[in-house]
Amino acid sequence: MSKMKIIQGGVTAPASFKASGVSCGIKASEKKDLAVILSEVPATTSAVFTTNKMAAAPVRFSRCNARNGICRAVVINSGNANACTGLKGEEDAFEMIDKTAEALSIHPQDVIVASTGVIGVPLPMDKVEKGIVDAISLLSKEGHTDAAEAIMTTDTYSKEIAVQFEFRGKTVTIGGMAKGSGMIAPNMATMLAFLTTDINICRTCLRASLTEAVNKSFNMITVDGETSTNDMVAVLASGKAGNEKLILGDDDYNVFQKALNYVATELAKMIVKDGEGTTKFIEIDIKGAKTGKDAKKVAMVIANSNLVKTAFFGEDANWGRIISALGHSGTEIDPETVDIYFDDVQIVKNSIALSFDENKVNEILKNDEIRVIVDLNIGDGKAKVWTCDLSYDYVKINASYRT
């Protein structure tokens, strides 16, 4: 793969994309709360959605529209999830699609809609409709940051990235933005992510690429083990890079895949680092499991353990909590072969504590980022999961989310 470089521009960095973000009054504050992304040409599209059985109306409509494989626009609001709002919620989700399509003179089936925020409250559609018109009037190549800010809820900062690389003699760009801070768990969570690219790619190939990228990134993070009602990741490809069309089975398919994986993983890590009340970003690195599936399961059990997470918040080298989580993970382990490391310091060998340098480990635990390595020593399965600690502020934020 030619050298990939990080550039500015977020979702508007690839050719043929514009974006905007405005404040339309959904939120009590004057913060931005409605965003639009536009592809100036029909974009090959794929998307994945929450597994939550109580999926919100926007998810249900977008699932349907995404099946067409073509998208021209994405409209997103924050501050209100439009979830569990009955027939009114369905009407409102369709109205967001219809209003966007009308203002852009495109077909409603070429619009994806997304919402995030408080569950069970009807959208103030008069404000939303005006916001859509205002956002469309402001669409530009420079609007990527406004759009990234407009999809935030409890996020403390916007999350966007863009990269470029050479592919078949052409410069290809991938951009992305995401939101997420709490209710983050595998199989999507209260997070939204939108990826754009100008590569010329077939629909089947794009679908496969997105599936792999999501499985290696957004489905490998957890803040609190909760899975939400509204979550989606969508990718739009304008084809304007001018490369020969990429199809499945091409020898250089992996060049694009690696770049898409990188963009998705960086956005996923940003979400965890901005987890509600987070003070520590923690990588759980599992090695030596029987299978890769077992490794991921073990990693998630450790990452979602409140006892493990609070120990890291307290900067306590309580490895016993990790061993305990392993024991009830439901995967095959040998209780006499487990090794545990905090960064480069081994603290457990063959499931028994070593005499380690407490001062050095204490210094590691004071860091903002910590790597935990667990080697089960029974196979070749491996997985990496990213999580965070559990702090007092997480409780404060979620105790008063509606107020």
Please write the tens of the pLDDT for every residue from 20-39. 999 999 998 899 999 999 99
Mode of pairing for the β-strands spanning 281-289 and 369-375: parallel
Q: Which residues contact 205 (CB under 8 A, 6 or more apart)?
A: 246, 247, 248, 253
109-143 burial: b if 16+ Cβ within 10 Å, else e: bbbbbbbbbebebebbeebbbbbbebbbebbeeeb
Paired with 160 in beta bridges are 177
8 Å CB contact between 79 and 114: no
Nearest 5 degrees, angle CA 188-CA 192-CA 198? 110
What's domain 5-273's superfamily in CATH? L-amino peptidase D-ALA esterase/amidase (3.60.70.12)
Predicted local confidence at residue 54, as pLDDT:
83
Q: Which of 145, 190, 196, 229 is catalytic?
A: 190
In the chain, domain spans? 5-273, 281-399
Mode of pairing for the β-strands spanning 352-353 and 34-49: unpaired
190 counts as catalytic: yes
Provide φ and ψ at 58, rounded to 5°.
-60, -35
pLDDT at position 1 over 70: no
pLDDT at position 189 over 50: no
Q: Which residue has the higher pLDDT, 339 or 28?
A: 339
* Segment 92-117 mean pLDDT: 97
pLDDT at position 118 over 60: yes
Task: Check residue 168 and give left, alpha or beta (phi > 0: left; psi -120 to 50: alpha).
Answer: left
pLDDT at position 58 over 90: yes
Predicted local confidence at residue 230, as pLDDT:
85
pLDDT at position 126 over 90: yes
| Confidence band of 269 (pLDDT split at 50, 70, 90) | very high
pLDDT over 90 percentage in the chain: 80
pLDDT at position 109 over 90: yes
Nearest to 1 by CA among 164, 214, 229: 164
The 10s digit of each residue's pLDDT in 276-313 is: 777 899 999 999 999 999 999 999 999 999 899 999 99
Q: What does pLDDT average to over the chain? A: 92
| Confidence band of 184 (pLDDT split at 50, 70, 90) | very low
Residue linked to tokens 């199989």: 187
Q: Which residues contact 334 (CB under 8 A, 6 or more apart)?
A: 376, 377, 378
Separation in Å, CA 338 to CA 100, 196, 356, 379: 55, 42, 16, 12
pTM: predicted TM-score of the whole model, two decimal places? 0.91
| Confidence band of 186 (pLDDT split at 50, 70, 90) | very low
- Which of 2.60.40.10, 3.30.465.10, 1.10.8.60, 3.10.20.340 is the CATH number of 281-399? 3.10.20.340
Predicted local confidence at residue 225, as pLDDT:
54
Predicted local confidence at residue 231, as pLDDT:
86
| Residues present in the chain in total | 403
Tokens of 352: 């028994």
* Segment 201-212 mean pLDDT: 97
Predicted local confidence at residue 187, as pLDDT:
47
d(CA 319, CA 340): 8
Q: What is the 3-state secondary structure (H, E, C) of the chain?
A: CCCCEEECCHHHCCCCEEEEEECCCCCCCCCCCEEEEEEEEEEEEEEEECCCCCCCHHHHHHHHHHCCCEEEEEEEEEEECCCCCHHHHHHHHHHHHHHHHHHHCCCHHHEEEEEEEECCCCCCHHHHHHHHHHHHHCCEHHHHHHHHHHCCCCCCCCEEEEEEEEECCEEEEEEEEEECCCCCCCCCCCCEEEEEECCCECHHHHHHHHHHHHHCCHHHECCCCCCCCCCEEEEEECCCCCCCCECCCCCCHHHHHHHHHHHHHHHHHHHHHCCCCCCCEEEEEEEEECCHHHHHHHHHHHHHCHHHHHHHHCCCCCHHHHHHHHHCCCCCCCCCCCEEEECCEEEEECCEECCCCHHHHHHHHHCCEEEEEEECCCCCEEEEEEEECCCHHHHHHHHCCCC
pLDDT at position 397 over 70: no
d(CA 227, CA 182): 10
pLDDT at position 403 over 60: no
The 10s digit of each residue's pLDDT in 220-256 is: 988 755 566 788 999 999 999 999 999 999 999 999 9
* Segment 152-169 mean pLDDT: 94
* Segment 324-329 mean pLDDT: 91
pLDDT at position 262 over 50: yes
8 Å CB contact between 184 and 226: yes
Tokens of 366: 């004071």
